[in-house]
Copies of this chain bind each other. A is one copy, B any other.
Amino acid sequence: MVRSAPPRITLLTDFGTADGYVGAVKGVLSQLCPDALLIDITHDIPPGDVRAGAFALMTATRTFPRGTVHLAVVDPGVGTERSGLLVEAGGALFVGPDNGLLSLASAGSRRVFVLDRPSWFQHPVSPTFHGRDVFAPIAARAAAGVLSDELGTSVSGMLEIEIPPARHEPECVCGEVFHVDRFGNLVTTIRDSDLAAEGRERLEAVIGTQRIPLRATYGQAPEGVLIALIGSSGFVEVARVGGSAAAVLAGDGRTGAPVRLMRAA
């Protein structure tokens, strides 16, 4: 027997796990696409933090196989005039609010569809829970094979969140801390591709008054030492071997803090 791959829907939300909201969404997905595999990415995006959600969605979804449907709901604007979207990009489908949440994960060539066809929704549509009544039904139908242009209407654009591009100056490449992860690593806006291939071993990251050497991996520095390295998402990160960089850098290690990459003195 050849078993074809089952439909696959991932979930990323800010619903937390103390309430029944995640279950209500999974119930709708199960109802409308009964053989789908439901895969939790996270439900612990800080409430309403669209930027954190967009970044997590980008780093989480790159590795999934073609045809995966990614349902993402961080939706502080539910019940206002913001639209819902279905986005095709890189062989994947993204479903969620038009508030930038889907923009980093679907960057590049994409097709955008606005969810303007209430016949696909679950009625009555709660004005406060489009995750259950609008986005889940669309994600389930997309996973079940309904075509995007049946589920919505093609539009030319969507709201974008941007990772501010690094500035290239004569003495340095300048960026900022974009995200602090669970381990206290500071993920910056400076990309691997912002750095010349040559001479990296002489570069330092400067945060506040700290000068932090760029290394290839944790094993190149002793426990407790701050290092910079190219993180797993392709951005320069500042980390502390066996500890939390955010904890020791304190105010200098917060989201938005300036970071410069420059030649060691």
Chain B residues with CB below 8 A from A76, complex form: 242
CB within 8 A of A42: which of B17, B34, B59, B182?
B17
CB pair A48 B242 closer than 8 Å: yes
CB pair B59 A20 closer than 8 Å: yes
13 A–B contacts, CB within 8 A, in A order: A6-B35, A12-B23, A17-B42, A18-B181, A19-B56, A20-B55, A22-B42, A23-B41, A23-B59, A23-B60, A48-B242, A78-B218, A127-B219
CB within 8 A of A39: which of B30, B79, B129?
B30
Q: Classify the interface of chain A: helix, strand, loop or mixed.
A: loop
CB within 8 A of A30: which of B22, B48, B64?
B64
Chain B residues with CB below 8 A from A164, complex form: none
- Indicate the member of A27, A58, A133 with the most B CB atoms within 10 Å: A27
Query: Which residues of A, 141-189, contact B by the 8 Å Cβ criterion?
Result: 179, 181-183
Total count of chain A residues near the partner, CB < 8 A: 82
When each residue 220-248 of chain A gets 1 if its CB lies under 8 Å from chain B and 0 otherwise, what string results? 10000000011111000101001010000
Chain B residues with CB below 8 A from A18, complex form: 42, 44-46, 52, 56, 181-182
The copy count of this chain in the complex is 3
CB pair A182 B127 closer than 8 Å: no
CB within 8 A of A31: which of B65, B126, B127, B239?
B65
A: residues with CB less than 8 A from B are: 1, 3-6, 8, 10, 12, 15-28, 30-31, 34-35, 37-48, 52, 55-65, 68, 76-81, 122, 126-129, 132-133, 179, 181-183, 216-220, 229-233, 237, 239, 242, 244
In angstroms, how far is the closest chain B Cβ from the Cβ of A162?
Answer: 18
How distant is the Cα of A22 from the Cα of B232 in the complex, in angstroms? 13
